[in-house]
Structure 1
């Protein structure tokens, strides 16, 4: 039966030209074993699976054609399992304490934050950057036969290309060399890498290539910073297949131990020996300074809606949230502070609400202990504020989540990195983030003068850039309010989001668009009420842009809305519709 379904999936993919033949075979082959296992285990009805995967009611309402009548029996698009499962939150929460300003003259720590490196080892300057595939700037089928066509619409640049292209290896080494040379006056104390090491060409993913990438990037960073510890988090693109991290209740053949073992080996010296065992669920804790612990949490395992295994059981897979609570309780009892490094922010469309809301409650419970949350995934410069009441932005802000900018250009960004200034290691330190600076790489300028590429400072102080008095959560919450009426501040934030200006092609954003941006900064979980005062009734879709789609029009940022659809549909129309249906934005407040 399984090979029949696999062949059928490949046939549908190729017939409707959802992707080219080689991609269809690759991606279906990657997922076939996992999907067949999940299909045999889940406890929902077939019509619910149909609704989950296709949302046929949505399609039939959209087109009102007989062609799509067979979708009408699909169930409603809902999470068939209990998306609002709860994890016990420990009692005895101390009275919340607002952080006090750091006295002048105290020691300072400097931490480099890298994320979404997305190296493409097949990146080839001169190849087509506007290809028809999800990933461009690389040979599409046979890497050993690279030829540059005469009719290339946009050649891939020497240093990278804004579009559906990832980072060449030499962009990473150029950045690390620049940091090594130009930040000697602000010696780095440690590095954080919050996930996604390999390219977006997920049909090419193999275990061997992922193991090699983990080792390659770890060794490369170590070669530039041999005496500076680096702490990684697991990203969704570390999965093979992409997004799929099998909890240990599944058969051993699906377990990710091959990846976790490779990580533990590559990170030798950065992870203490007593934590190597927990790396087998993609998590670990290290006491990096007296009174400060760093926790790396694998939220791709439990919080990624594209992880098929979670549709068997999504309740705290491998006990990762339980483990996080135990670590935070231990830190609280010892009087230590904690920094968290993770990948997927809780408000994105790829984040499961059960995980996101439980994580939110954990953060609120331990708000006195947690002094930093460092995420990635979106490729953009973003922040998220959490509130005492997860459903009300009028309550006291409890934390701020930093989502750092990516190295990859995929699909509309200039590469960037960030350096945090943190209250230093001394008796009585708060270890709170004091400020941060950001540097970026103008791809357009670098490709125009490839012999002299330049990294430039985007800003020297985020406090000065946005008029913040400190990094307190209340300051970031106030910034959301200030942007409602201060258009200049909002445009500055939007340009920094891309590391590009309107002169580099980011487009305009009207009032409705602006409200969507402000809403997303409150969405560390999926709430219908956090943005009620902004006129946004639903959560916003903040996802990675993975394909060009002529039936979907840009709504700013990373969200898209369907264009008007013709009644008579070609195979190409059908293909693009199937790709597009899940990318719909809130009609009340689109991004």
Structure 2
């Protein structure tokens, strides 16, 4: 990785030097030179790789290339979409180099055992994860990947890496993967202004509680190692550290750990006690922990069972609308189409389980679509419909996108048709999905494009969106594709009931009973550092802020949120933007101590307005005022 990153760093240093500007032609020459170096490195790697496979010995040059690509501890902790451009480029070169050789080995008849050994060797050599994590993740994913490679012999490494990494530094040309679309009814209300409504928060508003990203870890145990260099720590099989400061806290830990049962149970108990007047509960997914190398059908079901039983105990008569997270299947992230005939690769076991459990709160009519793909719709009350999506089929880490990209249109077309019927019936809609369609690169960019078309068409029907996944208490504004000066919808993120540098939280929304728009929301947290000082005492939950009060808003209509976001993007609004960042990070002590410089703040701001990959119009507008 360092070999390719160095090239980009040199260019960036030249481009940003004071008093020096690169002419377009010069820059294009530099880019062309870098692209040639990438091609040279990839070609050299493939040559050395083939020698390794033929002789069983790594050449000195192959080891040098691999050493240059080794992952750091920080690389393991970051999402792909958060990597800077130069690192994404390096990842693309690495991905294409390795995947092309693995695919070639398979096409030459190499069996599972030899492919497993090769991938395991690369995973450990590149330090992508610890050896046991590499072994477990490969073991539970390899059969799916090999099935896809076997079924799609013409699939190219450029497509595989382009879908997974999907950035401007890893483009591919494959119309089958990019040219499909949803049939959108053309008779919608045109967008002529930013969407607004007159009503402010009132005592007549409907109260809705959102909980998300619990990541309950049955192995979590106080005192065990919280600095383990694995996807999740604080587990009772990871040892007790010599330094007590490295031990997990009783109520959770701000380092790389998931949630203890004590904190999950206390959060739900607190919601019951503090918000008995809540009309509905929105649960937006990710019950299962980050032990991604050792998931199993039994483990996932036991974990989900304990959580669902707690919900049933807490809300036996209160409607709970549940959503699937990307951690619920085994292996995680992988949602096979219903057309996959091999039972050992199917995800039908999960849909059958959830149809049974969710059925306590849902009408019988929802069962068919849940069994089909984990999505459903229900009439919450006259005039308000909830639509719950399983958009993990569009998650860029779902291997099945490479098998049949066309199946991604099925659920989006269903969404369109449900919205069209709701429009005709005069209903407003709340959309629930685990992954935000706007979360940088996480959702496959074609799905982002088609979803945004649907939102634009039904901007007058969709009152709000509710997501999870990012673990951040953040917002995203959707703008018209045709008239990007107009804000037409807002997606709200509930944060998480797990910690990783940030405190646990849940969100309470106030919803206008006429428009079903969100007029305000409040975020509730407890300080983990303080709570762990007194493990025998319940945590002290408190309301950390009201969004409307914190930023002087009449309500939370798209027009009002757009106004605030624009204010964040000015020097005069910098202090408010910093306050917003602190709220998104849920006031975590470690995060606040690390701080957020201007580049970091601009990144936070752009996250709030990015709805489609590579459509940077709104971000560019804010960048201009940000540095004014």
State the aligned residue count.
506
What's 1:39 paired with? 149
What's 2:357 paired with? 266
What's 1:416 paired with? 505
Check the 8 A contact 2:529/2:589 in 1, yes or no.
Answer: no
Please list the CA deviations of residues 339-374 of structure 1 after superposition, one character each: whole Å capped at 9, or x if unmatched.
111011123222111001111110111111111100
**Shift in alpha-carbon separation, 1:51–1:243, aligned structure 2, 3 A:** closer
Query: Matches of 2:203 and 2:224 in 1, distance apart?
Result: 52
Q: Is 2:581 the partner of 1:473?
A: no
Correspondence for 2:183 among 66, 88, 91: 88
What's 1:127 paired with? 224
**Shift in alpha-carbon separation, 1:79–1:377, aligned structure 2, 3 A:** farther
Check the 8 A contact 1:419/1:438 in 2, yes or no.
Answer: yes
What's 2:617 paired with? 529
**Shift in alpha-carbon separation, 1:289–1:166, aligned structure 2, 3 A:** same
TM-score (normalizing by structure 2) = 0.76
Check the 8 A contact 1:346/1:523 in 2, yes or no.
Answer: no
**Shift in alpha-carbon separation, 1:318–1:270, aligned structure 2, 3 A:** farther
**Shift in alpha-carbon separation, 1:36–1:403, aligned structure 2, 3 A:** same
What's 1:166 paired with? 258
Query: Matches of 2:213 and 2:526 in 1, distance apart?
Result: 15
1:510 shift after superposition: 2.9
What's 1:69 paired with? none
Correspondence for 1:433 among 518, 528, 544: 518
What's 2:411 paired with? 320
1:519 shift after superposition: 1.2
Correspondence for 1:288 among 362, 377, 380: 380
Unaligned runs of 5+ in 1: 59-74, 142-146, 537-587
Indicate the structure (1 or 2) with the bigger Cα radius of gyration. 2
What does 1:23-34 align with in structure 2 at a 5 Å threshold? 23-34=133-144
**Shift in alpha-carbon separation, 1:2–1:488, aligned structure 2, 3 A:** same
Check the 8 A contact 1:341/1:375 in 2, yes or no.
Answer: yes
Check the 8 A contact 1:215/1:262 in 2, yes or no.
Answer: no
Query: Matches of 1:318 and 1:209 in 2, distance apart?
Result: 31
What does 1:327-476 align with in structure 2 at a 5 Å threshold? 327-347=418-438, 348-389=440-481, 393=484, 395-409=485-499, 411-424=500-513, 429-459=514-544, 461-476=546-561
What's 2:308 paired with? 218
Q: Is 2:211 the partner of 1:114?
A: yes
Unaligned runs of 5+ in 2: 1-110
**Shift in alpha-carbon separation, 1:271–1:79, aligned structure 2, 3 A:** farther
Q: Is 2:400 the partner of 1:309?
A: yes
Check the 8 A contact 1:414/1:499 in 2, yes or no.
Answer: yes
Check the 8 A contact 1:439/1:455 in 2, yes or no.
Answer: no
Please list the CA deviations of residues 359-394 of structure 1 after superposition, one character each: whole Å capped at 9, or x if unmatched.
11101111111111000110001111111126x64x
Correspondence for 1:136 among 233, 256, 262: 233
1:200 shift after superposition: 0.8
Please list the CA deviations of residues 51-109 of structure 1 after superposition, one character each: whole Å capped at 9, or x if unmatched.
55999xx9xxxxxxxxxxxxxxxx95547553353212111113558443238877321
What does 1:187-226 align with in structure 2 at a 5 Å threshold? 187-226=277-316
Check the 8 A contact 2:501/2:591 in 1, yes or no.
Answer: no
**Shift in alpha-carbon separation, 1:532–1:17, aligned structure 2, 3 A:** closer
Check the 8 A contact 1:214/1:263 in 2, yes or no.
Answer: no
| Structure number with higher helix proportion | 2
Query: Matches of 2:160 and 2:422 in 1, distance apart?
Result: 45
TM-score (normalizing by structure 1) = 0.80
What's 2:114 paired with? 4
Query: Matches of 1:509 and 1:402 in 2, distance apart?
Result: 22
**Shift in alpha-carbon separation, 1:47–1:267, aligned structure 2, 3 A:** closer
